[in-house]
Amino acid sequence: MNQEEQIKKSRDLAKEILLLTRDYLLVSLGFLHIALYQFQSFQLTDNNTIGSNGEMLFYDYKYVLKTYKKEKEALARTYLHMVFHWIFYHPFKIGIEDANLWNLATDIAVENTILELNIKAVETQKDIEQKDVIDILKEKTEITAEKLYKYFWRNPLAENQLKEYDALFKRDDHSIWGFNPKRKQFDNQIDEEFVYKKFEEQKEEYQEEIKEEWEKISERVKVELETFSKDRGEEATALIQNIKEVHRDHYDYGEFLRQFSVLSEEIQVNNDEFDFGFYTYGMQLYGNLPLIEPLEHKEVYKIKDFVIALDTSGSCSGEVVQGFLNKTYSIMKSTENFFRKVNIHIIQCDAKIQQDTKITSDEEFENFMDNLQLFGFGGTDFRPVFYYVEQLIEQGEFDNLKGLIYFTDGYGIFPEWRPKYDVAFVFLDENYNEKKIPSWAIKLVLQEDELKI
């Protein structure tokens, strides 16, 4: 057998091992069957590693053979590791300031998930050392990629410790997440024209297609997990925790605020219903006499009657409340969601109403923000706000109250009855832990960086 034939045989063997590894995992993890089989093709590289772009699995055949020969469970572990990255949406995270820190956080979160599943088929020599590190981290934060990243960002690791953790938890090549592998990484057997058309010319569209596919898969895994967790109990804790992080309700806050706007007419040129053809024809025919004038009234959606409730109990810091108000005001102002005259009540409450500030104009809102002073810092009871708003409605204070947003840490007594207006409880991500809000209320979770203007 010549060298070329030997290389081909080795390549074929490596691919066969990967396919067998996938089937091997399916025996123990049937609820992941769709995710395990999502890598639709196996493509060769020469970079001594393995990774996936969500559709294809890229691997160095020498790496696969060497890893399998040394510890076959390690290869199965790596395959499962890659799958969980995509189930948890790790490659789709945007706005990350430190990519290396994010990579480490995602690897630790995935490895913790696999360790807690307690699957013998993927036990490796590094497990004990990994558990020791994770046990220490569990005392500091939850073991999800998002929480770990924030913890590491606020508590920087020493350079040597960062390298140590990276070596301990890393298994796949995250650079392939970017869907932009370098030309030298590919073997000649690959259709390079197809690959580069996908990865360069249609990069954004391709990424969106991949994301949509994994959103469906992740949702399916979530459903399967509900049955699986009943059988496996605590062994699925980390998996449930991470999958909930993925499917938590994170909204575009600007879009969210628009839900509470009302339709009204304002005096302004309505270009949407104005026929410029007749206008131009009249100007051409008669000089300066148009056949039609622009409509001076336009229906627009804007915020008029609105309530913002602030939890000023001892567990809510003034800085966070200030950030929330700044963000809310900035969105309202920038999207022109204000009427010229508004009726917004900003109510501060801990266990009782502490202050109600009525805002009737843009200028008053700015003045309130410039001179913000918080009152309270006692216990938390949400009910006084709703009783108070009902009194305001009875007194005719609102023409058409659309909604109330309650910014809180969630620790308090919720009302049992449903008001006639929409209600949203807004939580900051780092303080959020599956708060049990009433079924009739909207739940909104904001990331800390969303409070930055």
Domain residue limits at 93: 3-247
Residues 209 and 61 in one domain: yes
User: What is the DSSP secondary-structure string of 122-146?
Assistant: G--TTHHHHHHHHHHHHTTS-SSHH
Beta-strand (E) ranges in 80-237?
A: none
Same domain, 171 and 318: no
What whole-number distance in Å separates Cα of residue 164 and Cα of residue 436?
Answer: 39
Q: Do 215 and 257 fall within a single domain?
A: no
Work out the mean pLDDT of the chain and round it to a whole number.
80
Residue 233, burial from CB neighbour count under 10 angstroms (0-12, 13-18, 19+): exposed
CATH number of the domain where residue 378 is located: 3.40.50.410
14-23, 263-272, 359-368, 395-404: range with lowest mean pLDDT: 263-272
Query: How far, in whole angstroms, is CA 130 from its chain's centroid?
Result: 27
Give a yes or no: residue 362 inside a domain.
Answer: yes
Q: Do 155 and 234 belong together in one domain?
A: yes
Is position 288 within any domain? no
Q: What is the average pLDDT across 314-343?
A: 72
Instruction: Report yes or no on 77 lying in a domain.
Output: yes
Q: Which amino acid is it at 88?
A: F
Residues 225 and 242 in one domain: yes
Q: What is the pLDDT of residue 286?
A: 54
Whole-model pTM over 0.75? no
In this prediction, residue 264 has a pLDDT band, given cuts at 50, 70 and 90, of: very low
Q: Are residues 8 and 60 in the same domain?
A: yes
Report which residue type is found at 408: T
The residue among 247, 280, 314 that closes a domain is: 247
CA distances (Å), 398 to each of 17, 239, 303, 307, in order? 69, 47, 12, 10
Residue 440 domain flag: yes
pLDDT digits (tens, 9 = 90+) for 203-259: 667 778 888 899 889 888 887 776 655 555 555 677 777 777 666 655 567 767 776
In this structure, the answer to whether residues 198 and 263 fall within a common structural domain is no
**Domain co-membership, 388 together with 422:** yes
pLDDT in tens, 22-70: 999 999 898 899 999 999 889 898 889 999 999 999 999 999 999 999 9
User: Cα(180)–Cα(200) distance, rounded to whole angstroms?
Assistant: 7
- Give the total number of structural domains in the chain: 2
Tell me what pLDDT residue 187 has. Answer: 42
Q: Is residue 219 domain-shared with residue 257, that is, in the same domain?
A: no
pLDDT band for 184, please (50, 70, 90 cuts): very low
Q: Across residues 363-391, what is the average pLDDT? A: 88
Same domain, 196 and 221: yes
- Examine the domain organization and report whether 226 and 308 are in the same domain: no
What is the spatial distance between Cα 23 and Cα 37, in angstroms, rounded to a whole number?
Answer: 9
Same domain, 30 and 166: yes
Q: Cα 425–87–192 angle (5° rounding)?
A: 130
| Choice between 190 and 259, residue whose per-residue pLDDT is larger | 259
418/189: higher pLDDT? 418
Q: For residue 289, is it within any domain?
A: no
Checking phi first, is residue 258 left (phi over 0); if not, alpha (psi -120 to 50) or beta?
alpha
